[in-house]
Amino acid sequence: MEDARRSSANQADQALARLGYKGELPRHLSMLSVLGLSFAIMAVPFGLSTTLYITLTNGQAVTVLYGWILVSLISLCIAASLAEICAVFPTAGGVYYWSAQVSSPRWAPLVSFVDGWLTLVGNWTVTLSINFSGAQLILSAISIFNDDFVANEWQTVLCFWAVMLVCAAVNAFGSRYLDLINKVCIFWTAASVLIIIVTLLVTADRRRSAEFVFSHYDPSASGWPSGFSFFIGLLQAGYTLTGYGMVAAMCEEVQNPEREVPRAIVLSVVAAGVTGVLYLIPILFVLPDVAMLLDVANSQPIGLLFKTVTGSAAGGFGLLFLILGILMFAGIGALTAASRCTYAFARDGAIPGYKLWRHVNTRLDMPLWALGLSTAVDCLLGCIYFGSSAAFNSFTGVATICLSTSYGVPVLVNLVRRRKAVRNSPYPLGRFGVLINVICVVWICFAVVIFCMPYSLPIDASTMNYASVVFAGFATIAVVWYFVYARHNFTGPPVTREDILVSTASMGEESQAPSKEQSKA
């Protein structure tokens, strides 16, 4: 068995070398582990719980349920588009590397540089939004037992920093156990969803009608026009169903990545979509008074919902504890992907101070400095909360915008160039490829606009959605760095010749058939 694994890892490193890189990270992750990581980053029950106030403000039941189903189907198209490209270019650079490969040699450096910064900021801000909302959720647990408790800015930011440091410590000193952590996440999430929905349905004193669950629409709390409010509410599903593409950063830690990672990307979206439906429908049936939930001080009503439905503070906290467990898996997984993305981008000299961030700590088997940079950037961005009580909405918006746009760049370029780069993909979309790619690009263009909007009107300085401001800030850094250094020194990732791509794709197909030694093992 060990010899078979070593042989598989050697083949993967040889394929990576043909794509222009030397394997520096141990290949100890399985497909189930990558699936668990993707599932952890999306963290469906946690993501839906922490953003519930957005859909309750913008339409309630119809937006909650049908918004989720709509975005799940669109996300499946995006995931399939990324999986097709990932199967040809399985490297830690992910969409940044793919953008260079599907572009012409002339435009590859600029396109990959832009997409790399989108990916990097998206990875950082997804991690930020997960852990920041987690900090708010932790503090909301106190209000379950003390109705008068309202966390101030310092308490929230300090709690957020503590969550970030715990996630960083696990990543730094427990990197060898990430495979186990990611697998446990799948079972914890499944068990949590089952326990929560059964408990809520059994203990609820009153239930909503099926008519309410499947057809009630009330956007009056949003201030937006009735029809447009539904689209603003899609931020809940759009934010939750975003992180699946981040796991491409783990390609260099997986055996047979050209097969296992694309499969994990697609399966994680399918699993997330089904999990979301199973979680949301029971919650809608037992949903308490919406006005009461929207009146919660820190916009995290899920703890109050659990307490009200179960009729017990202890019962409410018990269910919230399950969600907080999912938070830790999500925070750890998102920071893992963010650190690998930082490492891969720095490896090609695209970040100021890249010589430090690309270093791999051989004792810990992980890019420690890249982890430190990701953690520090997120901790600094968390300070935005001191000036805006709607900071979390801004974090979710910019994370969704950056990651979605970064996914769209290689898909759009590949589409414009008539999908030549994926002609020999081990994970082909076939005759539906063009249609799936078009759906992907159109949705992303639409999402960029609506996710910059505040989730309710009227607005002031404290309730404004600052997603566009954060996005513009990082864009300024990227533009300045490009003209100061990258324009003359950055050549992008190594662009691979077509004959090598065919060879690599063929190797991927061969690796799907087990050798005699592997069969015996």
Q: Would residue 502 count as lying in a domain?
A: no
User: Residue 344: which residues within 8 A CB-CB, separation 6 or more?
Assistant: 91, 92, 93, 94, 96, 97, 249
Mean pLDDT of 259-276: 92
Q: Would residue 500 count as lying in a domain?
A: no
Q: What is the mean pLDDT of the chain?
A: 86
Mean pLDDT of 397-412: 90
Q: At residue 78, does pLDDT exceed 50? A: yes
Q: In 417-497, where does DSSP find H-type helix? A: 433-450, 467-481, 487-489
Q: Would residue 315 count as lying in a domain?
A: yes
Report pLDDT for 464: 76
Q: Would residue 68 count as lying in a domain?
A: yes
Q: Which residue range(s) make up the domain with 283?
A: 36-492
Q: At residue 518, does pLDDT exceed 60? A: no
Report pLDDT for 520: 37
List of long-range contacts for 9-18, beta carbons under 8 Å, 24+ apart: 9/255, 11/256, 11/507, 11/511, 12/90, 12/254, 12/255, 12/256, 12/257, 12/511, 14/507, 15/90, 15/258, 15/504, 15/507, 15/508, 16/90, 16/91, 16/252, 18/496, 18/500, 18/503, 18/504
Mean pLDDT of 265-270: 93
Report pLDDT for 377: 95
Confidence of residue 21 (pLDDT cuts 50, 70, 90): low
Tokens of 103: 């572009």
Q: At residue 275, does pLDDT exceed 50? A: yes
418 touches 468 (CB < 8 A): no
Q: At residue 4, does pLDDT exceed 60? A: no
Mean pLDDT of 210-220: 96
d(CA 140, CA 151): 8
Residue whose tokens read 């935005």:
384
Which residues does residue 29 pair with via DSSP β-bridges, in sequence order?
A: 254
Mind listing the pLDDT tens digit for each residue in 155-192? 999 999 999 999 999 999 988 888 888 889 889 999 99
pTM of this structure: 0.86
CA 499 from centroid of its chain's CA atoms = 33
Mind listing the pLDDT tens digit for each residue in 126-152? 999 999 999 999 999 998 998 888 889
Report pLDDT for 232: 93
241 touches 76 (CB < 8 A): no
Type of residue found at 343? Y
Higher pLDDT, 376 or 7: 376
Report pLDDT for 199: 96
Report pLDDT for 194: 96
Q: Would residue 49 count as lying in a domain?
A: yes
Confidence of residue 492 (pLDDT cuts 50, 70, 90): confident
Mind listing the pLDDT tens digit for each residue in 200-213? 999 999 999 999 99
Confidence of residue 502 (pLDDT cuts 50, 70, 90): very low
Q: Indicate the number of domains in the chain.
A: 1
Mind listing the pLDDT tens digit for each residue in 326-366? 999 999 999 998 998 899 888 888 888 889 999 999 888 89
Confidence of residue 57 (pLDDT cuts 50, 70, 90): very high
- Spatial CA neighbour of 392 closest among 224, 159, 170, 192: 159
Confidence of residue 7 (pLDDT cuts 50, 70, 90): low
Q: Of 212-216, 220-224, 225-229, 297-301, which range is least confident? A: 297-301
Mean pLDDT of 420-437: 92
Q: At residue 263, does pLDDT exceed 60? A: yes
Mind listing the pLDDT tens digit for each residue in 446-481? 988 888 888 888 887 767 777 777 777 877 887 788
Report pLDDT for 93: 79
Report pLDDT for 499: 45
Report pLDDT for 511: 44
Q: Would residue 125 count as lying in a domain?
A: yes
Q: At residue 507, does pLDDT exceed 50? A: no
- Spatial CA neighbour of 36 closest among 279, 375, 277, 272: 272
Q: At residue 494, does pLDDT exceed 80? A: no
What CATH number does the domain containing 141 carry?
Answer: 1.20.1740.10
Confidence of residue 27 (pLDDT cuts 50, 70, 90): confident
Q: Would residue 22 count as lying in a domain?
A: no
Q: Would residue 17 count as lying in a domain?
A: no
